[in-house]
A and B are shown apart, each in its own frame.
Chain A
Amino acid sequence: MLHFRFSKPILLATLALTYSITCYATPSKADYKSFQPSPDQPYYFEDGKVDFGTYNGFRRYHADCHVCHGPAGLGSSYAPALLDSLKVMTWGDFVNVVISGREGRDNMIMPSFAKNVDIVTNLSDIYAYLKARADGVIGATRPAKFPKVKKLIADN
């Protein structure tokens, strides 16, 4: 079963046909164990450590996005620095671009990842990672992490 850590109407609209999506309960932020990510609070950070989902976002980003967007969202010679993009982009904007793709100037192409299960199911984690980068909470290196928390909420 595929699931997101959080969802939004736009995401549902784009993907409802393809994937079944888990929606989480009201966001909370007591500690990493009870942390529930949301578009407003996508990552958990304490004592220099991030929640496991945000860490997963780091590794997924570096598997599939960094070849164009550079290490740690710093940008490269042919795609923008997402570190800066996420200072202004919302979760909705973000999902839109990654799912639909976009063609910019000079053959600058952001591919559509709608068909990529590895990305679609980890998108909220990637967002959390990049948002933490954009907020200056974590640096360019591999972030330290809290252990994985078994999700208590059952899949829909």
Chain B
Amino acid sequence: MSRPEDTLPPDLFYNDAESRKYTTSSRIQNVQVEMTNRALSLLHLQTPSLILDIGCGSGLSGEILSSVAPSSGGPHIWTGMDISASMLEIALQRDVEGDLLLADIGQGVPFRAGTFDAAISISAVQWLCNAESSDTSPQGRLARFFGGLYASLKRGGRAVCQFYPKNESQRSMVSAAAIRAGFGAGILEDGGGTKGAKVYLVLSVGGGLLRGLWRGWRGWMLRRGVGEACKGRGGRRLGGKGGSSGF
């Protein structure tokens, strides 16, 4: 099956018909909800927070943020960025609570420094790897995105980006761009090696915080600074067939 990213740019791929099909599919809804909850749990938010939803689409991910119960530290207030006007139009029709910006994350993140407590991105960042034109490159767009995201988060803030890397090289290109922007970064994989594998890039501003977070994790690839350290060589396998490691 061909990847949508390889067929069209995102604003053309997610036209009215595709956006509707995407949003009304109960299979997609379930997967997006599950991944958003996973991302949210990795953020460890204790109080109602201001969150950026990167590539928010029709709001399947964002509305989870609005519905977190006070007993679990919510509800959160979110702002979404998306490049597809059709997706945002559906978000409007669905009456989501978050604010919506029509914006290309490859152009940056237009918020002042230290705005957000946290950010999530569910199934969007891989789109940045497909940008071939005379005035942009995937590397340039990834750099502007992660640079802007880094600046827009408050100190100690975290971001979790679930994405679908096409291959090993896309996966390293994306994490390397995040690290170059200043993030402490790690990759967590649920169901590795299976068809339903999910990759989460976990980022923090001011790397110290991540240390405690890693401790509970079994065998995930850990990257800090520009170098890369593997925590337990069998790590990738451990995170594999057994599915999610959880906390």
Q: Do the two shown chains form a genuine complex with each other?
A: no
